[in-house]
């Protein structure tokens, strides 16, 4: 049964990028590609050969592989309703966060490996933003740990009881924060515009300028998987565990689809931040998570 969650997450990861593209296209009044177009692109990339820069070394070849592997193993931690993830233990969200960290480390150094100024720019920014995003996730998980008195992913989500307005507010803020963390980690608007062609303003896109073929396919797959990762976490916030299994599956898929549509809408109607304002924007998310923590303290104090 645990495998079911994992399989559903993989399926949604294949669909999410397509849905985002279609939403953005429809909002701009265009017809848009098919839902499976990103998949066809990835399949084509995986079949192609590679061009490696002479400046690069082994690091460049192994970076995308470690990145992809880290995202897949992180996906194994996401619980599905009343079923644990395939890997689950106390304080496993720490392992989850640092596993994504090793993926980022390898991407940053494989970008610097090319010796190009563009990729250095992207690597530099990516390192700074991922540093700023870490506390948000930990404070959020800490608040949930304080609320439910457990510490593993599965236990945290299973034991949230929606019994007061305040818990709903905490869940709403938690969903919002996870949504924004997903935008930052995948380098979408408002941090970074995936459609921009100006290297001076890119972050993630410019880090993978020199990747090609199989490596590029892996990186694109990993992007979809990361979306599914956060979609799965958001879904756990939303569906209550008392429902039947089929209802839970339907809710899970609906949440992921809505997540993709929401991302598409946010991307269509927002401008990207000025690059110098990005740290401030991410810090704002930290402050919101601090408020979530204060809310939880209020709840636990009242229960005393």
Site residues (CB under 8 A) for another protein, limited to 207-266: 209-210, 213-214, 218
Cβ atoms 126, 191 nearer than 8 A: no
Cβ atoms within 10 A of the Cβ of 152, count?
Answer: 19
Q: Which of residues 169-208 bind another protein (CB under 8 A)?
A: 169, 199
Query: Which has the closest alpha carbon to 101: 70, 79, 75, 80?
Result: 70
Q: At 39, which helix (H) or strand (E)?
A: helix 37-47
Q: Which of residues 280-299 bind another protein (CB under 8 A)?
A: 280-281, 283-284, 286-288, 290-291, 293-295, 297-298
Whether the CB-CB separation of 222 and 54 falls below 8 Å is answered with: no
Q: Which of 4, 10, 127, 238 binds another protein (CB under 8 A)?
A: 127
CB of 151 to another protein, least distance (A): 5
The residues near 32 (Cβ < 8 Å, ≥ 6 apart) are 21, 22, 24, 25, 26
Whole-number minimum distance, CB 258 to another protein, in Å?
23
Q: Which residues contact 152 (CB under 8 A, 6 or more apart)?
A: 88, 89, 90, 91, 92, 93
**Residue ranges in 69-108 that form contacts with another protein under rule CB under 8 A:** 69-70, 72-73, 76, 87-92, 94-95, 98-99, 101-102, 104-105, 108
Binding to another protein in span 32-61, by CB under 8 A: 46-59
Residue 14 CB, nearest approach to another protein (Å): 18
Q: Is 80 helix (H, G, I), strand (E, B) or coil?
A: strand
Work out how close the CB of 215 gets to another protein at its nearest, in angstroms, rounded to a whole number.
8
Query: Shortest approach of another protein to residue 131 CB, angstroms?
Result: 3
Q: Does 30 bind another protein (CB under 8 A)?
A: no
Judged by CB, which is closer to another protein: 16, or 133?
133
């Amino acid at each position: 049964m645990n495998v079911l969650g994992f399989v559903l997450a993989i399926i949604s990861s294949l669909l999410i990028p397509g849905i985002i593209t279609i939403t953005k296209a429809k909002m701009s009044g265009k017809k848009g590609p098919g839902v499976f177009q990103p998949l066809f692109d990835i399949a084509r990339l995986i079949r192609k050969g590679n061009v490696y820069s002479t400046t690069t070394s082994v690091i460049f070849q192994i970076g995308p592989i470690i990145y992809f592997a880290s995202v897949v193993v992180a996906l194994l931690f996401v619980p599905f309703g009343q079923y644990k993830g395939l890997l689950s233990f106390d304080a496993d969200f720490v392992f989850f966060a640092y596993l994504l960290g090793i993926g980022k480390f390898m991407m940053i150094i494989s970008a610097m490996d090319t010796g190009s100024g563009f990729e250095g720019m992207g690597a530099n920014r990516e390192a700074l933003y991922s540093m700023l995003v870490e506390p948000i996730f930990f404070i959020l998980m800490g608040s949930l740990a304080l609320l439910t008195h457990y510490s593993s992913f599965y236990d945290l989500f299973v034991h949230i009881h929606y019994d007061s307005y305040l818990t709903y507010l905490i869940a709403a803020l938690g969903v919002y924060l996870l949504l924004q963390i997903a935008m930052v980690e995948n380098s979408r608007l408002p941090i970074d515009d995936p459609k921009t062609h100006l290297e001076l303003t890119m972050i993630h896109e410019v880090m993978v300028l020199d990747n090609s073929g199989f490596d590029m396919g892996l990186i694109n797959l990993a992007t979809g998987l990361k979306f599914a990762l956060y979609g799965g976490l958001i879904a756990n916030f939303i569906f209550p565990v008392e429902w039947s299994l089929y209802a839970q599956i339907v809710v899970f898929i609906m949440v992921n689809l809505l997540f993709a549509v929401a991302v598409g809408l946010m991307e269509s109607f927002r401008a990207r931040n000025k690059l110098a304002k990005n740290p401030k924007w991410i810090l704002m998310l930290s402050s919101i998570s601090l408020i979530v923590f204060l809310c939880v303290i209020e709840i636990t104090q009242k229960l005393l």
